[in-house]
Chains A and B, each alone.
Chain A
């Protein structure tokens, strides 16, 4: 399992995807391979996929610390903790100064599982922003 066969699979899917979403993938060059997965009509919120020794990490950026209203920050953090379990497959996290939702899969996962993970992550990301938008400037 590496980002190139994930990219190949998703790009070949076209509109035959099980999830009803269309994927458009671009590998990003860097110290480690990262796949940028764009979802048609949701290009503003791409998902970044990287594969390590034992897991596939899918990360979608929510917002930066600078977008958070400082006076409701604590309440936002509590809401995120409370939503963490109900939110299917994804969890909240923070990378540097950015809040993210992410999902981790075993490297033994099937392509269908990867596809479902990406689809659920994208839905979660949109829904989270929609629900928590009042905490943002």
Chain B
């Protein structure tokens, strides 16, 4: 069963109650052990591979040496025959037969090392892939655990204090209302600033005797006198 499936099964089985772990500590330990085992396998497979590849190179060098030796001795046989030394030729031919036997053995060893190396390379690749997968799964288990514990911590904290998480609508309304108050204040401050600017201009105009003039007592008196007269 895949890890996602395990996590979902645990969720649906109601294991998400506070204080109850979704993925029990035991399975986390098993995962961690599996990762350590896979790492050991990998180290061993890599060491074996190095050894086999060294042996393969050795066997291949030996094959070359034997081939050269066979060719060399075949030359000697030809020379012995030229000198009509039949018995020496036969003796060399016997040596060649031995060399050829050894060559056949080395060639077969070489092939077997090559095949072994190929198998080990495949094993290393598979183990590395498996290790990555285990680590991904462990991350998922640990994250699930961590979120669950964090949730328990948050829930406990709110249960312990008098504060509580409001419902979404109320939260939004309160935040919006606060924002509105802030905006209103900003608006009010701006309006006030504008009013002040208007007043400052009006004062300057009055000082300069431009525009509507403020009535003063003398002007009122003059006006009334004029009406009487």
Q: Which residues on A are within 8 Å of B, measured CB to CB? A: 28-32, 34, 36, 41-42, 44-45, 48, 50, 52-55, 57, 59, 61-64, 67, 95-96, 126, 129-130, 133, 136
Contact = CB atoms under 8 A, between A and B. Distances in A.
B150 A129 contact: no
A10 B174 CA distance: 24
Given A30-B149, A32-B146, A42 B175 contact: yes
B167 A67 contact: yes
Nearest to A31: B149
Given A57-B143, A67-B168, 10 more contacts: A28-B153, A30-B149, A30-B152, A44-B166, A52-B142, A52-B146, A95-B151, A126-B175, A129-B169, A136-B169
A126 B171 CA distance: 9
B9 interface: no
Nearest to B156: A30
B169 to A, nearest CB: 6
A42 B175 CA distance: 6
Looking at chain A's contact residues, the main secondary structure is: mixed
B210 interface: no
B208 interface: no
Interface in B173-194: 174-175, 178-179, 182
B108 interface: no
Given A42-B175, A50-B146, A54-B139, A133 B168 contact: yes
Interface in B109-154: 139, 142-143, 146-147, 149-154
Contacts of B167: 63-64, 67, 136
Given A41-B182, A136-B168, A28 B154 contact: yes
A31 B18 CA distance: 12
B98 interface: no
Nearest to B16: A96
B206 interface: no
Given A52-B146, A54-B139, A44 B174 contact: yes
Given A44-B175, A50-B146, A34 B169 contact: no
A32 B169 contact: no
15 contacts: A29-B153, A36-B157, A41-B182, A42-B175, A44-B174, A45-B171, A55-B143, A61-B165, A62-B168, A67-B168, A95-B151, A96-B151, A130-B172, A133-B169, A136-B169
A45 B165 CA distance: 8
Looking at chain B's contact residues, the main secondary structure is: helix
B82 interface: no
A54 B152 CA distance: 21
In this complex, the member of A34, A36, A55 whose beta carbon has the largest number of chain B beta carbons within 10 angstroms is: A34
Contact of B172 (A28, A54, A129): A129
B136 to A, nearest CB: 11
A31 B153 contact: yes
Given A63-B168, A67-B168, A126-B175, A34 B153 contact: yes
B170 interface: yes
Contacts of A30: 149-150, 152-154, 156-157
A129 B168 CA distance: 7
Given A52-B142, A95-B151, A28 B157 contact: yes
B13 to A, nearest CB: 14
A44 B178 CA distance: 11
Given A30-B157, A31-B152, A41 B175 contact: yes
